[in-house]
């Protein structure tokens, strides 16, 4: 699709664009805005956790009586904040950033394509995503507020919840539809639009990661979409897919036929949501692999092993979902099965991490900002992964499940793991997107503050979890055994509010550098993959001056006898 010769209007160029780069940027700005809004919800929750029952300073005055009378947060509002924080961060923030932005912008460039295989589908994917996000946010205005049954929306609580839950379901259907459009596009683009010479064994790890992620999305999301429609029917059409017989709500028997199974929802939800964890982490691993190869100036250790592990991870991710449900009282034989598969899936994760760590060995490391983020990802993701093991064993999970330990584990994987890697990716590819570089000093200030404060928030969660503090508590001091660790809540809250301030250098640096940053060359990091062979920013609608041909693997750094320490894939 060549529109290079068309005179484009502002609307066709920047709003309803078919160019994968513009759509990628739309995804980036939108998902970063959602990340900030989801993060802000958590900042309100942290006030309640640190100082339960006290009026929220300043902001409390602006919250309506239905949410926080006299500035004191109501339990229902706390539940809404929790459910929406999880939903927004995962489905509207991290996945669209890791897949929608990074995949859209850089996958076609890394395979030498002029655009995605289906540009119109791509544009539709973004607009449906935006619509889904706006519908999700609008649920706060519903009578009874937004969804308040957790980001997992477990039945029957979610079926009998106020109208905000219906909006949650509708928004999820839109978001899932958008993801499916994107997944199909990524798969077809990778299969069909690779340039001459770019064989499977020469694909950058980032492309492999996006490819496997797209397959996971394609197979996992329809299950939740179908499950969500069933929940919608339970809520508005009087069906009982998830409602058991004889259910009593608010002291009165629920007038429904019943006979449904609340556990069916949990199974359908986690059948998506466990592969979703790998949807969150694989693009991050792909980004880290690109940065580490470039920053160490040597080929990645175990390229084939990383690719194999990613594919194996993808397959296994469909066979572990019920480890989130050990407490449901499932059959012992079934819990043994899921315990075993969970232990097996940890092997490829550890293999990838080990390959990335070993890639550092013997490298002449350039401690650039992206490299700092990539290096930080390794131990942080390691902590996240290893703390997951006790949750995979039923004997330990019975104690730890539904405590803050789970929250700590998950956030180490997704925040100090994925978000740190995504930040690294933004710093790494910023010069390609805008032809300018970000300020190095403020980037490093952002890095150090962010990494320290993130650990300040999430590490105490392990301590709280081991002390038996349950998750989703509106008032942690209501239970006597929690009081001993209540000071950690205060510390965590200060770290969380500090983390917001720590993003100011990033935001200012980003926008300032977009327009006033130092201009950079086409390939400022002296990298080898194809995206660095096109102008910065790449040409509208065609990317490359001349379609490149690939002659070698993606990470030919420090090749003996070559005049520079990098040998681009397209160099003859």
* Site track for another protein across 294-333, x = CB under 8 A: ------------------------xx--x--x--xxxx-x
* Of 465, 466, 457, 467, nearest in space to 489 by CA: 457
Instruction: Sort strands 518-519 and 436-437 into parallel, antiparallel or unpaired.
Output: antiparallel
Kindly tell me which of 226 and 389 has the beta carbon lying closer to another protein: 226
Kindly tell me which of 59 and 263 has the beta carbon lying closer to another protein: 263
Q: How far is the CB of 312 from another protein (least distance, A)?
A: 15
Instruction: Report the residue from 157, 263, 350, 500 that binds another protein according to the rule CB under 8 A.
Output: 263
Q: How far is the CB of 413 from another protein (least distance, A)?
A: 24
Kindly tell me which of 220 and 414 has the beta carbon lying closer to another protein: 220
Q: How far is the CB of 267 from another protein (least distance, A)?
A: 5
Instruction: Report the residue from 154, 337, 494, 567 that binds another protein according to the rule CB under 8 A.
Output: 337
* Residue 101 tokens, joined: 């932005």
* Site track for another protein across 79-108, x = CB under 8 A: ------------------------------
Kindly tell me which of 345 and 492 has the beta carbon lying closer to another protein: 345
**Nearby residues of 433 by Cβ (< 8 Å), 6 or more positions away:** 21, 25, 105, 536, 537
Q: How far is the CB of 179 from another protein (least distance, A)?
A: 16
Buried b / exposed e across 157-179, counting CB within 10 Å, b at 16+?
Answer: bbbbbbbbbbbbbbbbbbbbbbb
- Residues 169 and 188: their CA atoms lie apart, in Å, by 29
Instruction: Report the residue from 8, 51, 267, 486 that binds another protein according to the rule CB under 8 A.
Output: 267
If binding is defined by CB under 8 A, does position 250 make contact with another protein?
no
Q: How far is the CB of 271 from another protein (least distance, A)?
A: 6
Q: Is the dihedral of CA 177, 182, 187, 191 positive or negative?
A: positive
Helix (H) or strand (E) holding 36: helix 20-50
Kindly tell me which of 278 and 412 has the beta carbon lying closer to another protein: 278
Instruction: Report the residue from 223, 280, 391, 453 that binds another protein according to the rule CB under 8 A.
Output: 223
Q: How far is the CB of 180 from another protein (least distance, A)?
A: 12
- Residues 240 and 230: their CA atoms lie apart, in Å, by 9
Kindly tell me which of 336 and 448 has the beta carbon lying closer to another protein: 336
CA distances from 257 to 134, 239, 253, 293 (A): 35, 8, 11, 60
Kindly tell me which of 11 and 248 has the beta carbon lying closer to another protein: 248
* Residue 187 tokens, joined: 């798969």
**Which string of DSSP letters, residue by residue, matches 423-455?**
HHHHHHHHHHHHSEE--HHHHHHHHHHHHHHHH
Q: How far is the CB of 374 from another protein (least distance, A)?
A: 33
Binding window for another protein (CB under 8 A); candidates: 121-129, 264-272, 527-535, 559-567: 264-272
If binding is defined by CB under 8 A, does position 271 make contact with another protein?
yes
- Residues 558 and 550: their CA atoms lie apart, in Å, by 18
Q: How far is the CB of 194 from another protein (least distance, A)?
A: 15
Instruction: Report the residue from 141, 334, 389, 504 that binds another protein according to the rule CB under 8 A.
Output: 334
Instruction: Report the residue from 191, 327, 484, 508 that binds another protein according to the rule CB under 8 A.
Output: 191
Instruction: Report the residue from 264, 357, 386, 539 that binds another protein according to the rule CB under 8 A.
Output: 264
Q: How far is the CB of 327 from another protein (least distance, A)?
A: 12
Kindly tell me which of 239 and 354 has the beta carbon lying closer to another protein: 239
Place of tokens 């315990």: 339
Q: How far is the CB of 502 from another protein (least distance, A)?
A: 42
* Residue 127 tokens, joined: 């607009």
Contact 368, 525 (CB under 8 A): yes
Q: CA 68 from chain center: how many Å? A: 30
Kindly tell me which of 80 and 342 has the beta carbon lying closer to another protein: 342
Kindly tell me which of 223 and 352 has the beta carbon lying closer to another protein: 223
- Residues 547 and 111: their CA atoms lie apart, in Å, by 10
Contact 339, 388 (CB under 8 A): no
**Which string of DSSP letters, residue by residue, matches 94-152?**
IHIIIIIIHHHHHHHHHTT-SS-S-HHHHHHHHHHHHHHHHHHHHGGGSTT-B--STTT
- Residues 21 and 14: their CA atoms lie apart, in Å, by 10
Q: How many residues bind another protein (CB under 8 A)?
A: 21
Q: How far is the CB of 239 from another protein (least distance, A)?
A: 16
Q: How far is the CB of 331 from another protein (least distance, A)?
A: 5
Bridge partners of residue 518, in order along the sequence? 437
* Residue 207 tokens, joined: 């492309």
Query: Which residues are at the interface with another protein (CB under 8 A)?
Result: 191, 218-219, 222-223, 261, 263-264, 267, 271, 318-319, 322, 325, 328-331, 333-334, 337
């Amino acid at each position: 699709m060549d529109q290079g010769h068309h005179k484009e209007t502002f609307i066709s160029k920047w709003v309803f664009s078919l160019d994968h780069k513009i759509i990628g940027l739309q995804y980036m700005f939108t998902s970063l805005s959602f990340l900030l809004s989801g993060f802000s919800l958590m900042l309100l929750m942290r006030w309640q956790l640190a100082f339960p029952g006290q009026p929220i300073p300043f902001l409390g005055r602006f919250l309506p009586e239905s949410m926080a009378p006299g500035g004191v947060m109501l339990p229902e509002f706390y539940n809404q904040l929790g459910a929406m924080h999880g939903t927004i961060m995962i489905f509207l923030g991290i996945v669209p950033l890791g897949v929608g932005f990074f995949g859209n912008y850089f996958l076609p460039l890394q395979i030498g394509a002029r655009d995605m295989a289906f540009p119109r589908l791509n544009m539709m994917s973004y607009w449906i995503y935006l619509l889904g996000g706006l519908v999700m946010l609008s649920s706060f205005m519903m009578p009874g507020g937004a969804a308040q049954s957790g980001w997992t929306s477990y039945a029957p609580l979610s079926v009998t919840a106020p109208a905000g839950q219906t909006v949650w379901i509708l928004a999820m259907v839109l978001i899932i539809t958008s993801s499916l459009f994107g997944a199909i596009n990524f798969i077809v683009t990778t299969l069909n639009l690779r340039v001459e010479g770019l064989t499977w064994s020469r694909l950058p790890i980032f492309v492999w990661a996006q490819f496997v992620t797209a397959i996971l999305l394609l197979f996992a999301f329809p299950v939740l979409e179908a499950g969500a429609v069933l929940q919608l029917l339970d809520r508005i059409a009087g069906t009982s897919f998830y409602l058991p017989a004889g259910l009593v709500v608010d002291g009165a028997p629920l007038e429904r036929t019943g006979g449904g199974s609340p556990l069916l929802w949990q199974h359908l939800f986690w059948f998506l949501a466990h592969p979703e964890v790998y949807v969150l982490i694989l693009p991050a691993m792909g980004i880290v692999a690109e940065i580490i190869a470039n920053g160490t100036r040597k080929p990645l250790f175990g390229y084939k092993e990383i690719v194999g592990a990613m594919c194996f991870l993808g397959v296994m991710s469909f066979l572990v979902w019920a480890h989130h449900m050990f407490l449901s009282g499932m059959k012992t034989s079934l819990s043994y099965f899921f315990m075993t598969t969970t232990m097996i899936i940890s092997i490829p994760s550890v293999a990838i991490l080990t390959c990335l760590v070993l890639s550092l060995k013997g490298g002449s490391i350039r401690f650039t900002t992206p490299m700092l983020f990539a290096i930080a990802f390794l131990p942080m993701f390691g902590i996240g992964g290893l703390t997951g093991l006790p949750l995979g064993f039923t004997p330990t999970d019975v104690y730890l499940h539904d405590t803050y330990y789970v929250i700590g584990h998950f956030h180490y994987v997704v925040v100090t793991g994925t978000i740190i890697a995504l930040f690294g990716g933004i710093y790494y590819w910023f010069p390609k997107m805008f032809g300018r570089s970000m300020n190095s000093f403020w980037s490093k200030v952002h890095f150090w503050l962010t990494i320290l404060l993130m650990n300040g928030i999430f590490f105490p969660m392990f301590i709280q979890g081991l002390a038996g503090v349950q998750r989703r508590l509106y008032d942690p001091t209501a239970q006597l055994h929690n009081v001993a660790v209540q000071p950690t809540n205060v510390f965590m809250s200060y770290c969380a509010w500090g983390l917001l301030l720590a993003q100011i250098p990033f935001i200012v640096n980003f926008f300032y550098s977009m327009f006033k940053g130092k201009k950079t060359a086409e390939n400022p990091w002296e990298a080898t993959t194809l995206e660095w062979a096109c102008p910065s920013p790449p040409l509208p609608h065609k990317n490359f001056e001349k379609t490149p041909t690939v002659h070698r693997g993606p990470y030919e750094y420090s090749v003996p006898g070559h005049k520079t320490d990098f040998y681009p894939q397209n160099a003859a």
